[in-house]
Structure 1
């Protein structure tokens, strides 16, 4: 990850569990929407109008970091550094 340019002034923590899910809504005539649902709380990620190069850059960064997050969860779940093993 790159270093932040501005300090954080707030943090919202949303934890996963059996109520957490993600949904992609690739709308044909509107901006795409990514929904992150955490039970009663939902976060929608979308663009601010027609898709731009900055939007594409952010989407690729989001996908890369989500993949890294998934690998970290897998390693923790399986308990092995390479993420290859059997769940306890």
Structure 2
């Protein structure tokens, strides 16, 4: 297991290209994670499903973080 904590300066970026599949980059200071399809010129149904799952879980994470942030601000 690798744990990378978000902090100021953490960045998530989607890079779309005309001649290859997209690349998602998540950067934490000097550590960077790139998520890409197995092949640069095609996308499988499994990769589409993974991208959808990733989006759902990232959205849930964002809502949980926002809820926690709002709860602490009003406390």
TM-score (norm 2): 0.90
Which residue number corresponds to residue 53 of structure 1?
A: 45
SS in 1 for 2:35: strand
TM-score (norm 1): 0.77
**Cα displacement (A) at 1:28:** 1.1
Work out which of the two has the higher radius of gyration on C-alpha atoms and give 1 or 2.
1
Number of paired residues? 72
**Cα displacement (A) at 1:31:** 1.6
SS in 2 for 1:79: helix
5+ long unaligned stretches in structure 1: 1-10, 81-86
Q: Distance in 2 between matches of 1:22 and 1:67?
A: 13
Which residue number corresponds to residue 5 of structure 1?
A: none
Tell me: higher relative CO, structure 1 or 2? Use CA pairs within 8 A at least 6 residues apart: 2
Higher helix fraction (1 or 2): 2
